[in-house]
Amino acid sequence: NAGVMQNPRHLVRRRGQEARLRCSPMKGHSHVYWYRQLPEEGLKFMVYLQKENIIDESGMPKERFSAEFPKEGPSILRIQQVVRGDSAAYFCASSPDSKETQYFGPGTRLLVL
């Protein structure tokens, strides 16, 4: 049973470009969570999605950031017009339902030049 998959593992963007981060949950998991981790800091909740629904996006900046989890395919975190402050590791996690433990993917390390 493959774990949570994320790609790309590393992403370099110039200021103003778009970043697309992908997350494929574990088999049988329909709940996906995105977190951001700045260097030397803990993980900050961004958004919680189920298939085709955003359940809670209270941790996600209102502008430039969006997330989706379509009926088919991976969940995508999209950052438009990236700025240097967006440089961080972005982790997704999945669970079979909202009350179960979350399992993390390997993360995408975004560097904005």
Partner 1 sequence: GENVEQHPSTLSVQEGDSAVIKCTYSDSASNYFPWYKQELGKRPQLIIDIRSNVGEKKDQRIAVTLNKTAKHFSLHITETQPEDSAVYFCAAGKGTYKYIFGTGTRLKVLA
* Residues at the interface with partner 1 (CB under 8 A): 4, 31, 33, 35, 40-45, 48, 55-56, 91, 95, 98-107
Minimum CB separation from partner 1 for residue 106, in Å?
5
**Burial class of residue 47, CB neighbours in 10 A (0-12, 13-18, 19+):** buried
For partner 1, the closer CB: 58 or 63: 58
CA distance 26 to 37: 21
Half-sphere exposure of 84 (CA within 13 A, CB side): 1
For partner 1, the closer CB: 65 or 91: 91
Beta sheet of 65-68, edge-to-edge order: 5-7, 19-24, 75-79, 65-68
Minimum CB separation from partner 1 for residue 80, in Å?
25
For partner 1, the closer CB: 93 or 112: 93
Minimum CB separation from partner 1 for residue 107, in Å?
6
